[in-house]
Structures are given as C-alpha cells and as structure tokens.
Amino acid sequence: MRAVTTSGGGVVVTDRPDPEPGVGQILVRVRAAGLNGADLLQARGLYPAPPGWPPDIPGMEMAGEVVSTGPGATRFSTGDRVMAVVGGGAQAELALVHEREAMPVPEGLGWAPAGGLPEVFTTAHDALFTQAGLRAGERLCVSGAAGGVGTAAVQLGVAAGALVTGSVRSADRRDQVAGLGATAIDPEAMEKAGPFDVILELVGAPNLGADLNALATGGRISVIGIGAGAVGEINLGILMARRARIHGSTLRARPLEGKAAAARLLEAHVLPLFETGRLTVPVEAKFSIEDAPAAYEHFAAGGKFGKVVLTAG
Amino acid sequence: MRAVTTSGGGVVVTDRPDPEPGVGQILVRVRAAGLNGADLLQARGLYPAPPGWPPDIPGMEMAGEVVSTGPGATRFSTGDRVMAVVGGGAQAELALVHEREAMPVPEGLGWAPAGGLPEVFTTAHDALFTQAGLRAGERLCVSGAAGGVGTAAVQLGVAAGALVTGSVRSADRRDQVAGLGATAIDPEAMEKAGPFDVILELVGAPNLGADLNALATGGRISVIGIGAGAVGEINLGILMARRARIHGSTLRARPLEGKAAAARLLEAHVLPLFETGRLTVPVEAKFSIEDAPAAYEHFAAGGKFGKVVLTAG
C-alpha cells in the first residue's frame, strides 16, 4: 500500500506492506483521512504515536470501506462505510482499527467530510460535554474557532442550545464562523464579550490569563490545543474566586476502552445530527494522498476554515 | 456583645450592639469559633466579607446555642446546639446565621472542636468529594496536611477508603499527621511518593509544578489554599497528557443556597462519622475571645497541628 511516512521533519509517500487485521480488528480501505495539528508535531518528532500504533505513518482519523475483518470482529461487514479515531496510521491506503473504535459513516455524508470528522468531533464533544459539562443556555466561547476542532465545537455548542462565541484571530474567517451560528469576535475582545460558563481553549497557554478573566462563577476551561505554547502563568486566586476548573485532555493517548467509549458517545449524540443535516464538516482543502507533502504545507500555513483532508481510492 | 473587630491590620475586642434575627435566621450564643487563614487576610484588609455579612467582625465558623429564632425559622429551637459556616461575624458573643446554613452539633462533641469543625470539614469535603470526586481505593495527597483543612482532609480521605499521603513542611508535625492514618512525607518527596489521583493543594501556586508532576492519568488537583502565593507557572501540556483537571474554590463567597447545600452534605456524610468517633477535630490551642489578638498571633506563627479556637461564655 501507499502510505504517508514521516521523514526528516516532514513527510514523504512510500510503499509499505499491507497490514493484516488481528483479533477484533477491521482492515479499512481509506477513502479520506483528515490532517490534525498533532500530525505536524509527529512529523517533527515531537509527538510519537502511542505504543501499538504505526510509529512512522501519521494520521489520527479516517473514513473508508471495510476490506476484511479479523478473528472475533463482528460489528461490521466487508463493504461497510466506517470511520474512526486511531492512534496513528490513518494516512495510508489501508488502515487497521479495532471494531469497537469504529463508527458507521452517517447516511449521505461524503468521504472527505467523513474522513475529517472523527478526531475533531470526538475531541470537541468530549471536551465540551464529557469534561466541561456544557448545558443548554450556557455561554460558550471557542478560542480558535475557525479550525477543525473549533468549527466542530461551535456547531456542537449551537446544536446543544448554548450561546456560542467564536474567537478568531483572522478577520477574514469571522463571517464563516458566524455562519455556523456563533458570534465571531477578535481574541482581544474576549473579556468584554464574557463572562462565559465554558471556554474551549484551542490556541494555548498565552490565552490562559484572558480565559480566566472572562470566566463566569462556576466556569470551566477545557484546554485541548497548545500550538501557541504550553507554558504560561496562572493566578490560582482567580481560579478560586471564580470557583472554576481547568481541564486538559488528549484523545490519542487513551487506551482502547477510552477511544471506544468516546466513539459510543459520538454514535449516540453526534452522528444523528449529521443525518438530519444539523452538523457539517467544513472541508477547507482536499489533496490526493500522493500530494501529502503539499497538504502538510498548506495545513502548516494556518488561517484555515475547517479541515484539510487527504483522499485516496 | 463583645466582638473581635478588625483594626489597623490586626484585631481588637470591642463592645457592639446585639444583632437581631431576621426572616429565616437564628441568633446563636457563640461558645467557640475557629480561626482560619482568611481571618488574617481580612484583618489586613485583603479579603473583605461578602455583602450581607458584618464587614468588620471576622470569623467564618462557630458553634453555640440558639438564643432566639427569627420569623419563619423552624429548623431549630431555643437551646439547641448548632454550628455553621458563615460569611463573617462568627468571632463574637452572638452571631446570626440563616437556619438553612446551620447544622446540629454531633452528640458528644465539645464546644471547642465543634467551633473549629464547620469551615474546615465543609471545605475539605467539598474539595475532595464534590469537586475532585475522590473514590475509595484512590491515592490522595494532602499538600499542607497539618493545618485545619489538612487534618480534616486526611481524616475524610482515610474514612472514605482512599490511600492518603500528607505532605508537611514541619518534620515535628509528621507523626501527628501519620496518627490520623496518612503516610506523612516532606513536600520535596511528593513526586517520588506519587502518582496521586487527587491532590488537595492547601499551600499555593509554588507547589503547582510538583503537583502536576505527581499526578496520575485522570488526576484532579483541588486548590483551596494559596497562602504561599497565588501566581505561578503552569504547563498545560502536562495537564493535557495527564488528562487532568484543576479546581479552585472558596466557600465564603457562595450564596445562601450554596452554603446550605454544603451543610446538607456535611449532615448526611460527615456528621455521622463524628458520632461514631471516626472523625475528630484536633484543637491545637484555645483562647478566650478577650485574648483574640494573642490567638491571631499564635495562628499567624504557623506550624500548627489542627485548629486554633476562640471560646466564649
């Protein structure tokens, strides 16, 4: 099979042996695989795949058709349209995933959006609801609202009845974020636009002070992106006075049962909203898997609205 | 009535008019009132009482007998032994509290421990269970285990089936902390003694880096004391990798319904353990209310084991 492969700080496309499904696994012919910030880090050697996943084939989400099933795998049949968050190896013509980590592709959803759905919607849903406990009527601010997780979070917040503000550095992207149902603001305007019950922080530690200042009593900050920096100052006195909490999380390092549990929540609470057309995956750009180096370059340039997706087959 | 009164950065004892119970309130003849770190801050003008509480009479917890009841107050009768967390005004011969914020004093508990119980056990219970969700079998570290909240938290953790470590700067206090059922350690040894599922941080921001390093995957840090400093550095990358969360909280600023809800939890889950003798309030020193300035000085010197309590009547 052809596979994106990390090489000297970037990626190339190489021939690799076809994988074989083990116990409980399914082999998927990948039709689309989204890019994520973690892929760039991994290419630079900063974010290795967890044990048990291909160490040098990046890709944390994909959609495609089931080619074959391993011993004991009974959830899906050959030809089924599936998608999944994986620990690595998604950016290839074939990928392995445990059947408990896979989900059916919603009726009517194309390959490119399906390939860019699992990681960002699982991440956003987990952060907003499982961690931060977002409820209808609450005020949500998504800090970094134009990217993949940001556009997912804005839509999920709107669908769940929250009052959503999206903070976006690039003025050019604010109309698009507003089109998803959010009030789009410049990050500098955040404190004035608050207070917020939940802040989803996708940018990093430099925003933490402003996040705390914009937080309502009983508020929750969920940190799932630190591209602008991991280390910053925190005033615990404000955290106490606000009776607030800060969550940090990643999906990738979770064990099988963690990824599978998140997939069940997505099946129950998110995929039905794709079938009714309430949610979409904005696809910013598609590249053939053979053009992966160009896709990575496009992704790294930033300022996107939605997902960059590799396609195959 | 005689009352401790803030004055020029310290406290004096003055004559004040007797308060009268309003709707839903009870008037309590105070027999004992614990000192807390917040009282020192308030005396220095740094932590004003929330609106509706006496601005210049400190004291956030007390125990005593009901003297009279205001209109509509039906939970207690004259002569009942009660105790409560209040927003201020506890360090006086008479104090007002809403009946929903008051609790019965457990059978057999003396006045001094009862007067030093409400604030620290409510704070510790709220932080460990309501916020951090501590469960049996989990590993708890109490950072600053020898003080009032620390000794309460160690005992509550042990009673709930957690494996409790108490970190204590003063080597002289470690045997006493161990006597409550904890493994007592020097703060420097924390990372080696971990990982911990829950860390109760009672010292402040300088410990935050060590707390994060000593935290287990899925761990929770609950910050309820910042005497050593409020502002520090945080590495959000570690917070994400640990899939962890940090809570901050205070009791004092909570509205009536918040204090009342916390009091109901204490009645249900903590007071029965005083009646069986499972929990105690270590009283480090008692001072007559007339000696309040000496009590404040003793408290400020630090290195205590348990509570400093003012007594009256």
Domains in chain A: ranges and CATH: 2-117+281-311 (3.90.180.10), 120-248 (3.90.180.10)
Segment B123-136, tens digit of pLDDT: 999 999 999 999 99
Inter-chain residue contact B248 with A253, CB threshold 8 Å: no
Say if CB B5 and CB B289 are below 8 A apart.
Answer: no
Alpha helices, DSSP H, located in A97-189: 111-115, 118-125, 148-159, 174-179
Burial, A158: exposed, middle or buried (Cβ in 10 Å; 0-12, 13-18, 19+)? middle
Give one word for A135, left, alpha or beta, with left for phi > 0 and alpha for psi -120 to 50.
beta
User: B29 near B64, Cβ under 8 Å?
Assistant: yes
Mean pLDDT on A271-275: 97
Touching check for B247 and chain A: CB below 8 Å?
yes
Q: Report ipTM (2 d.p.).
A: 0.93
pLDDT at A232: 96
Q: Kindly give the pairing relationship between strand B81-85 and strand B102-104.
A: antiparallel
- The structure's pTM equals 0.94
pLDDT of residue A49: 87
State mean pLDDT over A97-106: 97
Q: Which residues pair with A248 in a beta bridge?
A: A223
Contact B244 A239 (CB under 8 A): no
Spatial CA neighbour of A169 closest among A187, A157, A152:
A187
Question: Taking CA A130 as the corner, what is the angle to CA A247 and CA B202, rounded to the nearest 5 degrees?
Answer: 35
- Determine, for residues B236 and A230 on separate chains, whether the beta-carbon distance falls below 8 Å: yes
Residues A14-39 have pLDDT tens digits of 999 999 999 999 999 999 999 998 89
Q: Are strands A196-201 and B231-235 parallel, antiparallel or unpaired?
A: unpaired
How many beta-carbon contacts under 8 Å exist across A and B? 100
Beta carbons within 10 angstroms of residue B130's beta carbon? 16
Backbone angles phi, psi at B18, to 5 degrees: -65, 135
pLDDT tens, residue by residue, A152-192? 999 999 999 999 999 999 999 999 999 999 999 999 999 99
Give the lowest-confidence range in A122-126, B53-57, B115-119: B53-57
Cα torsion at B247, B252, B254, B255 (round to 10°)?
A: 180
C-alpha distances (whole Å) from B285 to each of B32, B297, B304 are 12, 12, 9
Whether B25 contacts B70, CB under 8 Å: yes
User: DSSP code of A297?
Assistant: H
Average pLDDT of every residue of chain B: 95
Residue B299's H or E segment, with its range, is helix B292-300
- Residue B198, chain A, CB below 8 Å: the answer is no
Contact of B255 with chain A, judged by CB distance below 8 Å, is answered with no
Block residue for tokens 């970190």: B167
Chain A interface, mutation test: which of B234, B235, B254, most A Cβ atoms within 10 Å?
B234
